[in-house]
Amino acid sequence: MRIILLLSSCLLISTGILNAQNKSIAESLGYPANAKLLILHADDLGVAHSENRASMSALDKNAVSSASIMVPCPWFPEIAAYASGNPGKDLGVHLTITSEWKHYKWGPVTSRDSVSSLTNKDGYFYSSVDSVATLGSAAEVEIELRNQVKKAFRSGVDVTHLDVHMGAAASTSEFVKAYLKVGREFHLPVLMDKRIHAIEDPGIRSLLDDRTIVLDKLYMEEPEDYKKGPKEFYTQVIRNMEPGLNCLLVHLAHDDEEMQGVTKEHPDYGATWRQADFDFVTSKECADLLKENNIKLVTWRELRDKIVRAE
Amino acid sequence: MRIILLLSSCLLISTGILNAQNKSIAESLGYPANAKLLILHADDLGVAHSENRASMSALDKNAVSSASIMVPCPWFPEIAAYASGNPGKDLGVHLTITSEWKHYKWGPVTSRDSVSSLTNKDGYFYSSVDSVATLGSAAEVEIELRNQVKKAFRSGVDVTHLDVHMGAAASTSEFVKAYLKVGREFHLPVLMDKRIHAIEDPGIRSLLDDRTIVLDKLYMEEPEDYKKGPKEFYTQVIRNMEPGLNCLLVHLAHDDEEMQGVTKEHPDYGATWRQADFDFVTSKECADLLKENNIKLVTWRELRDKIVRAE
């Protein structure tokens, strides 16, 4: 079965999930039950120096509240060093089992013989989600996801959460189980929205409990939004945000030679796109909009420590 | 035994090596016996987009006659695509068993379990030549070198020669044997200078024959040369070049954010250094100097096809 739970535009209505103590998530974090909470989240850290520079700058300015890291990528050590030097920053693992760009590639952190269903003849991850969903063994996905999390911890990242690059590690029900299982092992919240409850697979249901964090709404700019104008898209998202736990995923980089090279022949989520995201989230306009709409930026660390790992 | 044959400053005097037909190398390539031949060679292709852009530009301008590629590096696919699209360019494999930069890393092309002596706990090559010379198994070095050459051919590179990044794959006599053996297997010339003949190891001697190409002089800018001024160094090298087969190794990249990030805290062979190399080799001054001193640029492909693979 081919499903992508986590990275499509979000149509679900907030219902106010309750946690173990029958408090809403907002109350568990110390906010009124009807607060509008937002994890403003940068994806793809580690993929390139340009992405790292822009994302570290946005984290330093508190323009985003959280971010996640692609552990198999060449520039991971730069972000691991940043994480060690900035232990207060909210950094998770952006679990990665694809290598999607044309001229710039990476492969698994696990020795390839142990996860051979996840790589092509050159030892790289497949470019597309379709390929890994079709050819990848769920057992090997689980090994690779676990090793990415282990490597992040070992490298000095106090991992606050897990999420999935391109939705690949949640693209089949078996992969979803691996994703949830690895989150449980490390007592980490994993990004998902409420569609998870619509899945009847007993294996998946058995991995959900009253400490499971489920977003009310997940937002991410899609190509059609970008065409209409990124600023318009983000402005509408913020103005129309409802009470509950919201997450907005952004992709931050500079429109420079490196990022143009990485994203060659792929304008969607390309260098100009990422520069526009950076410009928006670091703008006074964005800060003012969040304030005017009474939106509280929260972190996965709060969710991890006050709910998932609550005594 | 710890030896580095190939990448120190070159003090040896030209003697005019003879090949199988008792012709000098120059005569085999169609030049007078006393010609000054020069392989003007860019190292480190594939390491970064900045390095690739500068090196492809220099190759396109015929400012360098040859170059070699680091197959394990993230940007290798960009150079493989360039090689496929430009089959006349002279491209070899810059055999790589170190990953020396602070925040940007790579590991073997071989599945790591098969070459575990070559990697650290994070699955990357060691940073230093000392580490791999001390800890690396020669049998595993041979496996990895062979797989790098195979991957280059499979990716569309008509490999013309082999050489060694940082001298690492020639840093012990056992590694030198692996290097020479892999060159033989693919009928490729391998970069070495005449100090090879001073080594008494019978295993190494058995891998040399009358088709073995040995440089008369190998030049590479060292930190002390750079301090005095790169232009002065290169000008002196060209003015003082003697008849025989010479090779000048350069490192081309742009002084941009990416290359500054790659070479962070390492000014030697850093971004400014590589930009200076690019500026010099693509200058009219360099072209004029080569012409005035009657220096003929030659390629490893000529040496491969007219000597190593001669009928």
Given a cut of 60, whether residue A6 has pLDDT beyond it is: no
Using CB atoms, pick whichever of B75, B106, B257 lies closest to residue A53: B257
A257–B49 CB contact, under 8 Å: yes
CATH superfamily of the domain spanning B2-308: Glycoside hydrolase/deacetylase (3.20.20.370)
Nearest CA in chain A to B254: A257
Nearest CA in chain B to A154: B122
Mean pLDDT of A133-149: 98
For residue B119, the distance in angstroms to the closest alpha carbon of chain A comes to 11
Please report residues of A whose CB lies closer than 8 A to that of B261. 49, 52-53, 75, 78
CB–CB contacts below 8 A, A to B: 82
ipTM: 0.92
Please report residues of A whose CB lies closer than 8 A to that of B50. 257-258
Query: Could you tell me the CA-to-CA distances from A216 to A3, A11, A27, A166, A304 in Å, in that order?
Result: 19, 10, 15, 20, 17
Q: Are B183 and B190 in contact (CB under 8 A)?
A: yes
List the one residue out of B72, B141, B76 whose CA is nearest residue B107: B72
Q: pLDDT-derived band of residue A22, with 50, 70 and 90 as boundaries?
A: low
Write out pLDDT tens, residues B81-130: 999 999 999 999 999 999 999 999 999 999 999 999 999 999 999 999 99
B104–A78 CB contact, under 8 Å: yes
Distance between CA atoms of residues A277 and A220, nearest Å: 11
Q: What is the mean pLDDT of chain B?
A: 93
Distance between CA atoms of residues A206 and B213, nearest Å: 67
Distance between CA atoms of residues B167 and B6, nearest Å: 6
Q: Rounded to 5 degrees, what are φ and ψ at A51?
A: -65, -45
Chain B residues bordering chain A (beta-carbon distance below 8 Å): 49-50, 52-53, 74-78, 81, 102-106, 109, 111-114, 121-123, 151, 154-155, 254, 256-258, 261-262
Mean pLDDT of B159-170: 97
Mean pLDDT of A268-272: 96
Q: Rounded to 5 degrees, what are φ and ψ at B298?
A: -125, 170
pLDDT of residue A1: 38
List the one residue out of B308, B285, B290 whose CA is nearest residue B39: B290
Given a cut of 80, whether residue B13 has pLDDT beyond it is: no
Which residues have C-beta within 8 Å of that of residue B311, sequence separation ≥ 6? Answer: none
When mean pLDDT is compared across A11-25, B64-78, B240-254, the lowest value belongs to A11-25
The full DSSP string for B251-292 is E---SSHHHHHHTTT--TT-HHHHHHHHHHHTSHHHHHHHHH
Give the ranges where B99-137 is alpha helix by DSSP (H): 129-135
Mean pLDDT of B53-57: 98
In a mutagenesis test of the B interface, which of A45, A47, A49 is the best target, namely the one with the most B β-carbons within 10 Å? Answer: A49
Angle separating helix axes B173-185 and B138-154, nearest 10 degrees: 30
Beta bridge partners of A244: A36
Going from N- to C-terminal start, the domains of chain A cover: 2-308
When mean pLDDT is compared across A113-122, A201-210, B26-35, B192-201, the lowest value belongs to B192-201
Percent of chain B at pLDDT exceeding 90: 89
For residue A23, the distance in angstroms to the closest alpha carbon of chain B comes to 42
Q: pLDDT-derived band of residue B3, with 50, 70 and 90 as boundaries?
A: very low
**Residue B210 burial by CB count (10 A; 0-12/13-18/19+): exposed, middle or buried?**
exposed
**Residue whose pair of structure tokens reads 């390539």 in the numeric block:** B29
Chain A residues bordering chain B (beta-carbon distance below 8 Å): 49-50, 52-53, 74-78, 81, 102-106, 109, 111-114, 121-123, 151, 154-155, 254, 256-258, 261-262
Q: pLDDT-derived band of residue B20, with 50, 70 and 90 as boundaries?
A: very low
Write out pLDDT tens, residues A218-263: 999 999 999 999 999 999 999 999 999 999 999 999 999 999 999 9
Q: Are B271 and B2 in contact (CB under 8 A)?
A: no
Using CB atoms, pick whichever of B78, B257, B262 lies closest to residue A256: B257
pLDDT of residue B272: 97
The 3-state DSSP class for residue B119 equals strand
Q: What is the mean pLDDT of chain A?
A: 93
Give the largest CA-CA distance in chain A. 54
pLDDT of residue A31: 97
pLDDT of residue A12: 29
Mean pLDDT of A7-35: 64
Given a cut of 60, whether residue A171 has pLDDT beyond it is: yes
pLDDT of residue A187: 98
Q: Are B273 and B51 in contact (CB under 8 A)?
A: no
Given a cut of 60, whether residue A20 has pLDDT beyond it is: no
pLDDT of residue B22: 59
Q: Which amino acid is at A2?
A: R
The 3-state DSSP class for residue A53 equals helix
**B227 or B12: which carries more pLDDT confidence?**
B227
Given a cut of 80, whether residue A2 has pLDDT beyond it is: no
pLDDT of residue B254: 98
Write out pLDDT tens, residues A84-118: 999 999 999 999 999 999 999 999 999 999 999 99
A261–B113 CB contact, under 8 Å: no
Please report residues of A whose CB lies closer than 8 A to that of B114. 113
Q: pLDDT-derived band of residue A205, with 50, 70 and 90 as boundaries?
A: very high
When mean pLDDT is compared across A3-7, A287-291, B169-173, the lowest value belongs to A3-7
For residue A144, the distance in angstroms to the closest alpha carbon of chain B comes to 13
For residue B233, the distance in angstroms to the closest alpha carbon of chain A comes to 30
In a mutagenesis test of the A interface, which of B57, B76, B104, B110 is the best target, namely the one with the most A β-carbons within 10 Å? Answer: B104
Please give the model's pTM, rounded to 2 decimal places. Answer: 0.93
The full DSSP string for B12-81 is PPP---B-TTS-BHHHHTTS-TT-EEEEEEEEEETS-HHHHHHHHHHHHTTSSSEEEE-TTSTTHHHHHH
Please report residues of B whose CB lies closer than 8 A to that of A122. 151, 154-155
A122–B75 CB contact, under 8 Å: no
Given a cut of 80, whether residue A8 has pLDDT beyond it is: no
For residue B97, the distance in angstroms to the closest alpha carbon of chain A comes to 16
